[in-house]
Amino acid sequence: MLDLLKEKYFNEIYSTGFVENDLSLPGEMIDGIRGHYAPKVLGDNDFPKFFAKNEHQAYMESQYIGFMMSNFPNVARKWLKQMYDKQYDTAIYGECACLERVLQYLMDNGFGEFFRARYMIGSYDVYLRSTHNSRATSYHTDLPNFHHFYETENDLSVFVPLVDLNDENGGSITVLPESKLKVPSNVLLKLLYDHFSKDPRYLDKDGYVDPDKIDKAAMQAFGKTKAHQDLLAAHKGVISMALRQYTKDFRKPKEKAGKVLIFSHKNFHAAEPWKNEKMDREVYILRFLPIYDVKIKLTRHLHGRPVNNFLLDMKEGTVTRFDGPVDMAKIAEGEKLRI
């Protein structure tokens, strides 16, 4: 994170969990985002989709879910859908209809000033909606999963409430600062590269591992390797320490509709219950990836939707949209972070 953000902002996010700032999306942009998602069917929920191809992730949640996912996937899928429907009425990943406008607004209004790194990938967006009947989201970290493939411990999120999150309404997020405890995951990129770069079937012409060439069986075989199992065990250990020792150290930022909050969803985080019966909690999240010097390409799709196709140049203050994912091989080596 130190080579990603300028020192002042690194210190802030490291010690408090957030970069709080004066950036705010204008009211008409908030209305536009809410308007876009308003016609979506309540109950559209992408969360359970992450468990397919990620049975190991299910095991992290609990032995029981993992067992069900491996042995009775159809029953488990229905059950997971019910479980996540209780948490969010709507959770839409990677629609990206509003993403370019919001990225452009952020860059036009000083978003680049926070960064020491030259580039970030604008990966995809997320829309979450929940009611007062929804369950609060308990303490967790968004663990790496094979749908994203390229994931680092320094992935960043811009979190924008579309309605006021405050003491009266509830719904605030809370984050455990990295200075307390965090799950390490950059090493996953090294493990993935070591494993898949040995087989030319998984490489592109530049020698980059191409996740879109890797089938489910090959991914599952990687999941069972000792190296990956060791990483999962490390994750599990850190997660249990966080839940046992650090729940009192979660910090809450000041939030209101439109206010831009920068944090990392790789830090432990949670969301308070929503209390307002008259309106729903709606939040919009943008996901950003740093570019490391590892020869791994970005995936084309997330749950069938195109992702990873925006490049933010912090020096020039520009947002460039590509037809496919940003080509990591075209980024100058000197502008990549050391993994």
Rounded Cα distance between 244 and 168, Å, is 29
CB of 46 to Fe ion, least distance (A): 13
Nearer to Fe ion by C-beta: 125 or 210? 125
Least distance (Å) between residue 82 CB and Fe ion: 19
CB of 307 to Fe ion, least distance (A): 17
d(CA 240, CA 258): 34
Minimum distance, C-beta of residue 118 to Fe ion, in the bound complex (Å): 28
Q: Give strand ranges (E) for 62-146.
A: 90-93, 119-130, 137-140
- Give whichever of 139 and 193 is closer to Fe ion, judged by the CB atom: 139
Does position 210 bind Fe ion by CB under 5 A?
Answer: no
Name the residue nearer to Fe ion (CB basis): 85 or 142.
142
Residue 20 lies near Fe ion (rule: CB under 5 A): no
Distance between start and end Cα atoms, the chain: 11
Tell me: does residue 151 bind Fe ion (CB under 5 A): no
How many angstroms separate the CA atoms of 198 and 100, rounded? 37
Strand partners of residue 93 = 126
Shortest Cβ distance from residue 124 to Fe ion (Å)?
Answer: 14
Contact, 264 vs 154, CB < 8 A? yes
Smaller CB separation from Fe ion, 142 or 280: 142
Q: Does 46 bind Fe ion (CB under 5 A)?
A: no
Among 41-49, 142-150, 182-190, 312-320, the segment contacting Fe ion (CB under 5 A): 142-150
Work out whether the CA dihedral 145, 150, 152, 156 comes out positive or negative: negative
**Minimum CB separation from Fe ion for residue 241, in Å?**
18
Does residue 280 bind Fe ion (CB under 5 A)? no
Site string for Fe ion, 59-98 (x = CB under 5 A): ----------------------------------------
The residue number whose beta carbon is nearest to Fe ion equals: 142
Q: How far is the CB of 142 from Fe ion (least distance, A)?
A: 4
- Angle formed by the axes of helices 226-245 and 186-196, to 10°? 170
Q: Which is nearer to Fe ion, 142 or 151 (CB)?
A: 142
Distance of closest approach, residue 141 Cβ to Fe ion, in angstroms:
7
Could you say which of 55, 142, 155, 178 contacts Fe ion (CB under 5 A)? 142
3-state secondary structure of 4: coil
Nearer Cβ to Fe ion (89/142): 142
CB closer to Fe ion, 112 vs 253: 253
Q: Return the structure tokens found at 294.
A: 């590892």
Q: Which is nearer to Fe ion, 70 or 145 (CB)?
A: 145
Q: How far is the CB of 269 from Fe ion (least distance, A)?
A: 6
DSSP for 122-176 reads EEEEEEEEE-TTSPPEEEE-----TTT-S--TT-EEEEEESS--BTTTB--EEE-
Is 155 near Fe ion (CB under 5 A)?
no
How far is residue 333's CA from residue 241's CA, in Å, rounded to a whole number?
Answer: 37
Which part of the chain contacts Fe ion (CB under 5 A), choosing from 26-34, 79-87, 140-148, 214-222? 140-148
- Estimate the share of the chain in helix, then strand, then coil, as percent rounded to the nearest 5: 35, 20, 40
Nearer to Fe ion, 180 or 297 (CB): 180
Secondary structure (DSSP) of 254-296: ---TTB-EEE-TTS-EEEPPB--SSS-EEEEEEEEEE-BSS-B
Residues in contact with Fe ion by the rule CB under 5 A = 142
